[in-house]
Amino acid sequence: MAPPQGRHAALIDRADGDGQVPWTLPLFAADVRALVGVVRTACMIVISALSGMRHSELCELPEDCQRPPEQFGPGRVRHRLKSKLIKGQKLGGVWDEWVVVTEAYVAAGVARHLAGPDATHLFPQTLNFSGPDGRYGRFREWVNGEEGARLGLAPIPPDPLSLRVFRRTLAVEIAHRPGGLLAAKIQLKHLSVVTTEGYANRPGGAQAKFLAEAGAAEHDRTLTLTLQAFRDFQAGQQPAGPGARDLVSFFKSVENELTLQNLGAPQIKHGDQEVINLLSQRAATLHLGIANYCWFIDPDKALCLKLAHAKDRSRPLAGMCDSARCPQATHHPSHRPVWASAAANSRVFIGKIGRSQKAEKARLTAEAARAEAVVAAIDAALAPATGGVHGQDQ
């Protein structure tokens, strides 16, 4: 006799895109309880990895932790989770809120339903996550087992993981962005390896270690992005923007160098590492803008430094970047959605402005035209490789 639960489970897409399968096979009651535990662990991982919450803060998430979403314009919604800040606070902690991405907010909602009608918190107050018999071990065993394979889930490597690792990884990822160190400090509530007061008073301690980790990760990231830009160039996807001509000239010189090396040793096929060696000097000048790459080669050409009359000329000022005019800025296919969204949003706002607000309408019209020009330039640069341009934006 087949187990009674889940006999007519709905079909869902496999995680690897290889068709559809029932979301579960028939289950006994004990199997249902085990599956609930697996899904609750998945919710913990999502919330921790995407919010930076500590172990104590996850345990303090109340059943009503989801604050009402706040709308700040078309496509701009802010989600918050309420919990208690424990470390460094008085006994019992203090209530605080974390701004989170949609996925973490949805995971909290799933965990709320799975906690049961009488639960006061999303997760158990005594949370054994990464111990020998912890939740993470059982979760990985399930994902790597028959059921995970049936659902098309990618196997999880055997590396040890903990909530601290998730938080530290998030801190490094945030630190890549312009102003990232300050953003990480705010998001993680001064409770991690970021620039907290306690760490700031310990030169060479955790703060220095974090900065070293962030620097090493940023170096690897710039190398990877520069290599990708070079591969796009080889595929015919040219960069756009004021600095595109200079970047293309550099990429052509790299191609010529590779050609000369091939003539000397025709049987050798160059791998990524050899190409990276040729790109490394240019990669060291790459700074990530909000919607552009800044190749900070010559401070005298940096528009942001000129506008700010900056005395410190060691790095660009990302907050003052005008990549549509700076001769060291380039735009690439990955930046197109940001510019297209900016143009569409500006047009929406223009349509809602009254006739009396002529100055604001003129400002938004200029911004929309600027964004549309950037999108058109990116599409034109892609045209030789794609045989056309992206479809028209709605």
Whether residues 147 and 57 fall in one domain: yes
The residue out of 161, 187, 212 marking a domain boundary is 161
Whether residues 240 and 381 fall in one domain: yes
The residue out of 111, 139, 161 marking a domain boundary is 161
pLDDT value, residue 164: 83
Rounded Cα–Cα distance for residues 56 and 87 (Å):
8
Nearest Cα residue to 89 out of 54, 42, 43:
54
pLDDT value, residue 16: 92
| 214 falls within a domain | no
| 83 falls within a domain | yes
Whether residues 149 and 247 fall in one domain: no
| Token output for 377 | 């330039």
Whether residues 234 and 376 fall in one domain: yes
| 134 falls within a domain | yes
Whether residues 225 and 155 fall in one domain: no
What range defines the domain where residue 46 resides?
Answer: 11-161
Buried b (16+ CB within 10 A) or exposed e, 171-193: bbebbeebebbeebbebbbbbbb
pLDDT value, residue 46: 94
Buried b (16+ CB within 10 A) or exposed e, 342-375: bbbbbbebbeeeeeeeeeebeebeebbebbbebb
- pTM (2 decimals)? 0.56
The residue out of 117, 146, 161 marking a domain boundary is 161
Whether residues 57 and 135 fall in one domain: yes
Q: What is the pLDDT along the chain (394 residues), one digit of tens a residue?
A: 667 888 889 999 999 999 999 999 999 989 999 999 999 999 999 999 998 888 888 999 999 999 999 987 767 789 999 999 887 778 888 898 888 999 999 999 999 999 988 899 999 877 788 877 889 999 999 999 999 999 999 999 988 888 888 877 777 777 666 656 566 666 666 443 333 333 333 344 455 565 566 667 777 888 889 999 999 998 888 999 999 999 999 999 998 888 877 665 554 545 667 788 889 889 989 988 878 999 999 999 999 998 888 888 888 887 788 898 999 999 999 899 999 988 888 888 888 887 788 888 888 888 889 999 999 999 998 876 555 444 444 3
The amino acid at 265: A
| Token output for 35 | 């599956």
Are the beta carbons of 244 and 381 closer than 8 angstroms? yes
Q: Please report which residue ranges of the chain form alpha helices under DSSP H.
A: 29-51, 55-59, 102-115, 135-143, 146-150, 163-175, 180-187, 197-200, 206-234, 244-264, 272-283, 303-308, 336-352, 358-386
Whether residues 251 and 127 fall in one domain: no
Whether residues 280 and 367 fall in one domain: yes
| 33 falls within a domain | yes
| 209 falls within a domain | no
Rounded Cα–Cα distance for residues 189 and 166 (Å):
15
pLDDT value, residue 86: 82
Whether residues 138 and 230 fall in one domain: no
| C-alpha torsion 62→68→73→76, nearest 10 | 30
Phi, psi values for residue 13, rounded to 5°: -75, 135
| Token output for 33 | 């309880």
pLDDT value, residue 105: 95
> How many structural domains are present in the chain?
2
For 368, residues 6+ apart whose C-beta sits below 8 A from its C-beta are 342, 343, 346, 347, 350
Whether residues 237 and 381 fall in one domain: yes
| 289 falls within a domain | yes
pLDDT value, residue 200: 32
| 313 falls within a domain | yes
Partners of 20 in the beta sheet? 13
Whether residues 15 and 147 fall in one domain: yes
| 28 falls within a domain | yes
Whether residues 29 and 146 fall in one domain: yes
